[in-house]
Each structure stands twice: as structure tokens, then as C-alpha cells.
Structure 1
Amino acid sequence: MTKPRVLISDKMDPNAARIFADMGCDVDVITGETPEQLIARIGDYDGLAIRSSTKVTKEILAAATRLKVIGRAGIGVDNVDIPAASAQGVVVMNTPFGNSITTAEHAIALMFAVARQIPEANAQTQAGLWPKNGFMGVEVTGKTLGLIGAGNIGSIVAARALGLRMKVVAFDPFLTPERAVEMGVEKADLDTLLAKADFITLHTPLTSETKNILSRENLAKTKKGVRIVNCARGGLVDEAALKDMLDSGHVAGAALDVFATEPAKESPLFGTPNFICTPHLGASTTEAQVNVALQVAEQMAEFLTTGGVTNALNMPSLSAEEAPKLKPYMALAEKLGSLVGQLAHDNLTKIAIEVEGAAAQLNPKPITGAVLAGLMKVYSQTVNMVNAPFLAKERGLDVREIRHDREGDYHTLIRVTVHTSQGDRSVAGTLFGNAQPRLVELFGIKVEAELDGDMMYIVNEDAPGFIGRIGTLLGENGINIGTFNLGRREAGGEAVLLLSVDNPVEGPVLDTARKLPGVKTVKALAF
């Protein structure tokens, strides 16, 4: 079996390459290449490990014909075209926890620096001025910290602030009251936070909702003498408005580790009294750089060798422990999706994926992804679990997941129902021996069949002699039958025949089969 190939295109801890090798991957470390050089090289690799220097553009992705995963050693993925990666079926991972403590500590360090004006006092002291009476700082003890964003990094900052005997007020739409109690913080809306906070720290990604969350209007709502720290993303603070607020004294001090434009070679804030800045150093500690490099290597290698998905931004997570358990269910789900896609793919508007029995106890997202991957093969031969939801959304398909706790005739069952212009069409399958995918129902007719290789689907009137006629037709054309699976609604009614054949059934044979007495539908299938 060929080993997955991984390219490390940015400088990172050398132990990352060792982890890739130890986990069964071939790895090349080639850094500092131009986009043109990377485009020429990337087609040979299954994985690409990056930091912030490599820009993974649509053009690079177009050349990455065998790429399966991109791993960003760090949190921000602004340098990856995630929509293009998703459309191409490439998993994008980051390492959101590898540098969390480092970034949180930097925010606390800047908070202390801005509270005591440490950088300016240091500069004047080293200049021989000894400005002992020129700086009057404030204590943080007893002050209120306003936390904008209470996720992983924000929660660490909150814990450190509480240890400093500060009060913490948090604004985060996703913070539940129970989690706020657990963290020991007061949950508040943004206006309340702005009015109460003596210090404000930001810990939120840059989105359309958070861009300029500290706008000129919101900065005016803050308490006079507030101090602001941003170690999250540039663009969360209106920098021109912040300068005006510093100049007026409404904001007593500010510290930014990030800017709207980076590298920040110029800014209206540069040279402003009571302003401190650092060049995006939030994750810059030895420990953090080692942690994110090792973490991204482990995540990518696990995905390439076992199918485990961790910290993916465009695909549901799937642990290495879950992957083997889900593998047969995903195989069944993909075959059912493929079957319904081949038989009823016109004018699809809705799809429902129902699981019951043992399947209902598992993570449903990979099963849904597998169904959509099978279904969307009708539209694209390069579809997989990553880009299948993207393709489904692009076509306006309404996807619904339904889980039943009941256990019916089978210990596990997956049912896929699509709504078409002709009505609902449903197929269902189970696992034999917890491993072998098996079709058990087709459009309301009980039928047991393996879905594998080349097959032939026939709907006909249940009448004597038909099986002989179809067998003769295939035999006369040199097509050998592997398995023969029958089902019918009632004696003399509509019957379904699923044949597995040793080689594909071509057009002329299909046309002849359609002309046989009693035949309603004939289609060639491939799995």
C-alpha cells in the first residue's frame, strides 16, 4: 500500500516531520517557495502542512489534484481559501488549542503593561530620565474585566483574571448561563459590558458580525478611563476611532497585538501616548510553536491513515476511535445514497436520512455526509464527504437528519428518502454481521441485495416466464449473472429485479430489455 505523501511548506518544529513519518506518511519539508513553484509541486501530495506564510489560493488548489487535507499549525486560516477547498473535497484543519494558553497569557501581559505604562516607563528610564513621578498606573485587583468572546482563549483569560481578584463580565452569543456560572463570570449583552468594564479584552474571530465590534459608536459607550487589549484578530477595533479616543483621554490606554492590515508598517495609532503594540506575538512562545506543529502533524497523519477527523473547519469531527465503528455504516450510507441518486436523481428538492437501532447511537454527521457523497456522484465524479454537502447546498437540496431510538425488524437501519416531482422515493439498508452493507427495501418493496459492482435494475409486471426471458437475453449477449435478487408488492403486481453482472450492461442490451413484455423500467447501475 502506497504511503500518503505530505508537504510541509512553512517552517515549523522538526518533530512534526518525525511524527508524520512515525505514523506512516512520507514527508517532504520544502519551505519558502513562490506560488508558482508550489503550484508545480503540489500535485504530488495528499497533505499540505502550513503556518501563516503559505497562501493556499484557488489556483494552488486547482493544481492539487490528489490533495486530501490542509493542516494549519495555528488558529487563523485567513490564508486558506476554505470555500474552494471544500468545493474540491479537501479537509481544512487548524489547531485551535495548541497556542491558547500562550495567547491568553499575552493578553494578560498587555493588560498589565497598559495598566502600569511599562513600555514607555522603560524607554524613558533607559534614556536616563528616571521619570519616577511621571507615571501613575492603576491596579487590576477589584477592577471589572469585559470579555468579548468567551471561547477557549477567552475562558483562560477569565480564569487568570479571577485569580487576580478581578470581576469578569462576558459577552458571547454562544455562552450559556450554565457555562457562565461554571466559569465564574457574569453573562451580559454588549452595551452592559461596555458600560461596566474597566478593562476590555477581545477573543473572537473576525466575521461580518464582529468586524469593528469596537466601533466609534461602541467605544463612545465605554466607561471613561477604560483600557483595551486586542490579541485576537485585526479589524475588531476601529483603529482611527481608537486613536481619537486615546487623544481625548476617554480611553486611558490600549494595547494591540493585531492590526487590520498586517504587517502593520504604518498606523494612525503609532506614536499615540498610552498606546502599546506588538507584532502579532500572541502565539509566539517556544511551547506554543512546538505544540501546534506536533498537533497538526498528528491530526493530519491520523486523517490520512485512519480516517479520523479532528478540528476540521469544513467537515464533522470523527475521532480515531469512532472511525472504525462508523466505517461499515458509512459504506452502507454511501451505497444507499448512490442507489437513490442513480434511480431518482431528477428534480430532487429534499432528502431525509433516518437512522434507527445501533446506527442511532452513532455520530450522525458522517453518515449524512456519506449519503450525500453517494448521491452527488450523479453530478460529479470527484465528490466526497467534504464537498458533497457543498454540492447539495449549491443545488438547493434540503437535507434533514432524523434519529429514531426504536429498534425495528433489524438491529440497525438507515433509510434514505428523496422528494422528487413524482413523489417520495425511499431505500433502506442494514448491516449483516455488523459489517456487510445490505439493501432491504427499495421504493416500498422488500428486497435483499448486496450493492456492489455492475448491476441491472428492472421493474416489471410479476408474471411467469419473465426471469427466463431476461436470463436468455443476457446470456445471448455474453453477460454473466452473479446474483439474482427479487422482490414484489404482491402476487401478480409490480416486481423489482436487481441483478449483479460480471460486466456492464450497455445501451443495446438495455434497449432490448425495455421491449420485453411487462417491463416498466430498466437501468444499469454501478457501485
Structure 2
Amino acid sequence: MAPRVLISDKLSDAAVQIFKDRGIDVDFQPDLGKDKDKLLEVIGQYDGLAIRSATKATEKVIEAATNLKVIGRAGIGVDNVDIPAASKKGIIVMNTPFGNSITTAEHAIAMLMSVARQIPEANASTHAGKWEKSRFMGTEITGKTLGVIGAGNIGSIVCSRALGLKMKVIAYDPFLSEERATEIGVEKVELDELAKRADFITLHVPFTEATKNILSAERIAQLKPGVRIVNCARGGLVDEAALAEAIKEGRVAGAAFDVFAEEPAKENPLFGLPNVVVTPHLGAATSEAQENVALQVAEQMSDYLLTGAVTNAINMPSISAEEAKVMGPWIALAGHLGNFVGQMTDEPLKAINILYDGQVSGMNAAALNSAVIAGILRRGNPEVNMVSAPVMMKERGVKVSTTRQDQSGMFEGYIKVTAVTDKRERSVAGTIFSDGKPRFIQIKGINIDAEIGRHMVYTTNQDEPGIIGALGNTMGQNGVNIANFTLGRSTKKGEAIAILYVDEQVPEPVLDKLRQTGLFQQVKVLEFDIAE
């Protein structure tokens, strides 16, 4: 019996035809996604669900989807899919992470030109029968400095287009190496330097806790006078109220925004200001981009339903069904090791070295590598998956090397990840114990045995009395329950580490109390994607 796919949003006829040509029984109901009750009623009949953004694949919908095997999102954002619920039920969630990159980059360039020459206001004025040549004095972009915040997939395309327009391009990206910067023709700088030098600034980073208000009121105050700011990435990257004040005061010459902190944006501090260009989240709104992502998701879903091949999955590695049974715990461990490195590394990476020892050395290294890389990048980009991660890391010029070796120690198998920067190397190793749970077994060359939990605290110090007491007392006095406590040291009186698995995220004031003891060189909270 042929698999059945429901398309509940608007996809192109060509995408529908792909399903039909591959022998899929496709039901094209482009308005069904807006009817929550009807979707709940019929979803149990289908093996696949193809959507855009209108359909909300909530926990209720997924619970009712008794036969569903795959959800395909034509586009990158999967905020409308309850991924934990899908994962728990064994439903693969796919997206198309690269289908609209060029379109979004082109929109950023169009917005940059529009704000440079005040085109929207001049257009409105001329349509109104006015002829205000002297009012709309623009600025050339040739020879100007463009500051690009985020030089990943879309950001690097913007860099290329800007260089073609004879702009000087400087870029800030924590993951951008000097080699990759040279390759794409930009100068790598820190964020403070970019703020002081750029005539135009364009943002191309995801919205995370690390990037929230990356252009804060304080940083906006440091910007070069007369700067123009473009945001076609995500709302919330810029303090919109502070930017509005800077425009009113004349410190910022203009802005062009396609995204806003609250959407749909019915009102905003930027609305109505002179030389502010605004569009309603049109970054991916071209016929080519919409066609590309529709065709891609149809091919991906068909491949999975007919052959079991997994591509661009958010919640599953690209491995065969047979491999997944054995590799599942090791894939999860690889992601945790990468996540540890990502959370501990603030400097640009030059290389990632991954060692597979013992039984894990014979497994699918490509999938394991992807899990490590996705874990590293997830700190800065929560939308990254195991397929897009290697591409994103390659774009940043980071070299990934793999070593396999026969069992060389007390463990039947383990994975060791070493991150290399200009200043240091940082390594972490882990294994899977007989209970199926992942463990850290070595950090910075210091042997430990630490169960990995969702919320953890990591400290470094010189080996001396009082460390256990300081950690235990501080946590206890502030109501933080410790589930697991592990210590390790290099030598007596030498470098030592502690890693605590706690029941809930530790508030920053509690961490500050630890720092204020003067006993610790480093105190850091870590978070891992582990179900509780």
C-alpha cells in the first residue's frame, strides 16, 4: 500500500507532482492547516505531513497522528512543530535549511540600498505629486564599510554581494576563522571594533540568549555617527526602542528592518521615523525560494517514506535504520561532548579533532562527527541540525579530523573531542556505561566519572582543602539540590575540576557567590539536551 501524505499548506503544483511521480498517495488541501479541529480529525490517516508555517503541528495533533512517520517543513523555521512530542513518538521532523539563503541575502542588499538612497520615501513623495530632489540626499555605498554580524550561510552571501558592489567588508562571527575570512574576502574583527568602524551594519545571526539585543542600547551608543542598520535575520537582535531614539537624535542615519521583536508588527518604535525602511518579514518571499523549499521537502519526504533515507532531519541523524539501533546512545553522547565544547569555547575555532576508540571506532563516523559538530554549533544556532552542521562548520573554515583506534584503555569504547583555537586546546571524553547513560570520563586530561544531566555546573581550581565545602554549602544554602558531584585533579596540589549535576538551572547570583570565595578560577553553568 502506497504511503499517504497530507499537504496542509500552500505548496507548488510541481512539489505535489513529485509525490505523485514517486508513487506517493498525496492529499493536497492547502487551507486545511488553518482548521485545527479538522486537522485533528484527519491526521491519523497519513504517513507524512508537508507544511509551511500556517499549520501548527502541536502536541495534540502529533498525539492524534497515529500513523505519522515524518513531518516536512518547507523552510527553515520549525517553531510551529512540537519537536519533543514528535521525537517521543518516533516522528522525524525535516526542514530545508538552505533553500532561501540567496533570497534572504538579496533582500538584505535591497534594504541596504533602499536606506542608503531613501527610495521608499522618495517614491511616496513622487507618487503624491511632489518633486523634492533636494530633500532626498542619499549616500553612495561604494567604498563604504559594511559590518556583517554573522558570516554563516546567508551572511557570507551578503559579504560576496557587498564586495561586488565595491564595499569594504568587515565581519564579526565567533566561529569565523582567519582562513575562512581570507577566503571570502572579509576582514575578521571583534564586535566592538565593527561597531566603531562600520558605515552600514547588517545582521545575519539566529535569535538566542547569546544574540538577544546584540545591538543593545549601550552598543548603539558606541556606533559610528551616521551609521545605517539593516536587520533581515530575526527580531530581537536590536534594541528597537534605543535605535529609534538614536535615529531621532541623528546619531543613526537610518535603518531597514524586515523582522521585529514582536510579529505581526502592528506598531513599533521604528514605525513612522524618517529614513526607516520596513517590510513584513519578506526575506524568503520570492517565487524561486518558495519553489526551491517546496521541491526539496517533497523529495526528502518521498525518499524517507520509500527508502528510509533521512535528509535534513531536526531530530534524527542521517543514518540507516539498522545503524540507528546500535548508534543511538553514541550519537547522543557525541552531541553532548560537542555541546560541552561549544559552551566552553568563546574563541574562534581552528580545528576539531575527534577520536573514536574501541567499539565505537567501527561505527558511522560521518553521523557521529555531525552530532559532535551540531552540538558545538547549537550554542549559537539552535536551528542547526546534523545535516546542516558540517556545512556550516566548513563555511567557517574549521577543519574536522577523525582518528580511529583499537581499544586502548579500561573502556570498551569512548569518544574524545578536542577543540583547537589560536590560544589553547580543550578536550573532553565520554563513554556509554552498561546502564545506557552517557558519562564524561575526562576533561582537560583529568580523569573523572560524571553522569551527564540537563543542568550542570563546572568549576576549575587549584587542588586545596575547602572546595567540596564551598560548593556544597553554597548550593545547599541557596536551595539548589545536587544530584551528582564529581571531582578530579591532575596531581596533588595541581589543577582540579568539579562538575555538578543539579536538579535545576543555577541562578547567576549563586554562581557569583562561588566566584566571590576566591577559590575558583572558573565557574560556569552548562545545559544539555537530556529529558528529565
1:68-147 paired onto structure 2 within 5 Å = 68-147=69-148
Check if 1:272 corresponds to 2:235.
no
SS in 1 for 2:310: coil
Superposed CA offset, 1:375-428 (max 9, x none): xxxxxxxxxxx9xxxxxxxxxxxxxxx9734599xxxx999962459xx9xxxx
Match of 1:168 in 2: 169
Check if 1:177 corresponds to 2:178.
yes
Distance, in Å, in 2 between the alignment partners of 1:299 and 1:56 is: 18
Superposed CA offset, 1:300-351 (max 9, x none): 1112222222222222234xxxx4xxx55456668999xxxxxxxxxxxxxx
**Unaligned stretches of 5+ residues in structure 2:** 332-355, 373-385, 387-401, 416-430, 440-532
Match of 1:285 in 2: 286
Contact 2:70 2:93 (8 Å CA) reproduced: yes
Shift of the alpha carbon at 1:187? Answer: 1.6
Superposed CA offset, 1:82-133 (max 9, x none): 2332233222221121111111111000100000000101111121211111
Shift of the alpha carbon at 1:231? Answer: 0.9
Contact 1:359 1:414 (8 Å CA) reproduced: no
Contact 1:229 1:254 (8 Å CA) reproduced: yes
Distance, in Å, in 1 between the alignment partners of 2:327 and 2:205 is: 37
SS in 2 for 1:363: helix
Match of 2:49 in 1: 48
Superposed CA offset, 1:406-457 (max 9, x none): 599xxxx999962459xx9xxxxxxxxxxxxxxxxxxxxxxxxxxxxxxxxx
Check if 1:199 corresponds to 2:200.
yes
Kindly provide the amino acid, as one letter, of the partner of residue 88 in structure 2. Answer: A
Contact 1:8 1:31 (8 Å CA) reproduced: yes
Shift of the alpha carbon at 1:254? Answer: 0.4
Distance, in Å, in 2 between the alignment partners of 1:417 and 1:117 is: 60
Superposed CA offset, 1:353-380 (max 9, x none): 9446754665347999xxxxxxxxxxxx
1:140-159 paired onto structure 2 within 5 Å = 140-159=141-160
Q: Percent identical across equivalent pairs?
A: 60
Kindly provide the amino acid, as one letter, of the partner of residue 196 in structure 1. Answer: R
Contact 1:360 1:405 (8 Å CA) reproduced: no
Kindly provide the amino acid, as one letter, of the partner of residue 231 in structure 2. Answer: N
Relative to structure 1, the CA distance from residue 209 to residue 27 in structure 2 (aligned partners, 3 Å threshold; closer, same or farther) is: same
Relative to structure 1, the CA distance from residue 126 to residue 361 in structure 2 (aligned partners, 3 Å threshold; closer, same or farther) is: closer
Distance, in Å, in 1 between the alignment partners of 2:285 and 2:185 is: 29
Kindly provide the amino acid, as one letter, of the partner of residue 185 in structure 2. Answer: G
Relative to structure 1, the CA distance from residue 362 to residue 260 in structure 2 (aligned partners, 3 Å threshold; closer, same or farther) is: closer
Match of 2:10 in 1: 11
Match of 2:404 in 1: 404
Contact 1:355 1:403 (8 Å CA) reproduced: no
The list of structure 1 runs, each at least 4 consecutive aligned residues, that deviate by more than 6 angstroms after superposition, is 334-337, 365-368, 413-416
Superposed CA offset, 1:3-53 (max 9, x none): 222111111111111111222322111132311211111122222111111
TM-score (norm. length: structure 1)? 0.64
Superposed CA offset, 1:160-188 (max 9, x none): 00111111111112222221111111122
Bigger radius of gyration among the two = 1
**Unaligned stretches of 5+ residues in structure 1:** 338-351, 369-385, 387-401, 425-527
Distance, in Å, in 1 between the alignment partners of 2:189 and 2:325 is: 46
Kindly provide the amino acid, as one letter, of the partner of residue 32 in structure 1. Answer: D
Contact 2:358 2:407 (8 Å CA) reproduced: no
Contact 1:211 1:235 (8 Å CA) reproduced: yes
Relative to structure 1, the CA distance from residue 218 to residue 88 in structure 2 (aligned partners, 3 Å threshold; closer, same or farther) is: farther
1:91-490 paired onto structure 2 within 5 Å = 91-318=92-319, 323=320, 328-330=322-324, 354-355=358-359, 359=363, 363-364=367-368, 404-406=404-406, 418-419=433-434
Relative to structure 1, the CA distance from residue 247 to residue 10 in structure 2 (aligned partners, 3 Å threshold; closer, same or farther) is: same
Kindly provide the amino acid, as one letter, of the partner of residue 418 in structure 1. Answer: F
Kindly provide the amino acid, as one letter, of the partner of residue 7 in structure 1. Answer: L
Contact 2:145 2:168 (8 Å CA) reproduced: yes
Relative to structure 1, the CA distance from residue 414 to residue 277 in structure 2 (aligned partners, 3 Å threshold; closer, same or farther) is: closer
Distance, in Å, in 2 between the alignment partners of 1:361 and 1:54 is: 36
Contact 2:318 2:367 (8 Å CA) reproduced: no
Distance, in Å, in 2 between the alignment partners of 1:22 and 1:111 is: 42
Contact 1:360 1:403 (8 Å CA) reproduced: no
Contact 1:143 1:167 (8 Å CA) reproduced: yes
CA RMSD of superposed structures (Å): 3.1
Match of 1:523 in 2: none
Kindly provide the amino acid, as one letter, of the partner of residue 247 in structure 1. Answer: K
Distance, in Å, in 2 between the alignment partners of 1:244 and 1:256 is: 16
Moved more, 181-190 or 287-296: 181-190
Relative to structure 1, the CA distance from residue 216 to residue 44 in structure 2 (aligned partners, 3 Å threshold; closer, same or farther) is: same
Relative to structure 1, the CA distance from residue 193 to residue 20 in structure 2 (aligned partners, 3 Å threshold; closer, same or farther) is: same
Match of 1:22 in 2: 21
Shift of the alpha carbon at 1:144? Answer: 1.0
SS in 2 for 1:300: helix
Distance, in Å, in 1 between the alignment partners of 2:6 and 2:235 is: 29
Distance, in Å, in 2 between the alignment partners of 1:44 and 1:280 is: 34
Match of 1:32 in 2: 31
Say how many residue pairs are matched: 364
SS in 1 for 2:268: coil
Contact 1:56 1:81 (8 Å CA) reproduced: yes
Distance, in Å, in 1 between the alignment partners of 2:358 and 2:66 is: 34
Kindly provide the amino acid, as one letter, of the partner of residue 404 in structure 1. Answer: R
Superposed CA offset, 1:189-245 (max 9, x none): 211211111111111111121122222122112111110111111121222122111
SS in 1 for 2:433: strand
Match of 1:378 in 2: none
Match of 1:67 in 2: 68
Contact 2:95 2:297 (8 Å CA) reproduced: yes
Relative to structure 1, the CA distance from residue 335 to residue 170 in structure 2 (aligned partners, 3 Å threshold; closer, same or farther) is: closer
Distance, in Å, in 2 between the alignment partners of 1:367 and 1:173 is: 20
Distance, in Å, in 2 between the alignment partners of 1:214 and 1:362 is: 37
Distance, in Å, in 1 between the alignment partners of 2:161 and 2:100 is: 16
Relative to structure 1, the CA distance from residue 367 to residue 293 in structure 2 (aligned partners, 3 Å threshold; closer, same or farther) is: closer
SS in 1 for 2:115: helix
SS in 1 for 2:63: helix
Contact 1:201 1:230 (8 Å CA) reproduced: yes
Relative to structure 1, the CA distance from residue 357 to residue 241 in structure 2 (aligned partners, 3 Å threshold; closer, same or farther) is: closer
Contact 1:316 1:365 (8 Å CA) reproduced: no
Relative to structure 1, the CA distance from residue 296 to residue 149 in structure 2 (aligned partners, 3 Å threshold; closer, same or farther) is: same
Match of 2:342 in 1: none
Relative to structure 1, the CA distance from residue 297 to residue 354 in structure 2 (aligned partners, 3 Å threshold; closer, same or farther) is: farther
Relative to structure 1, the CA distance from residue 336 to residue 38 in structure 2 (aligned partners, 3 Å threshold; closer, same or farther) is: same
Distance, in Å, in 1 between the alignment partners of 2:190 and 2:133 is: 40
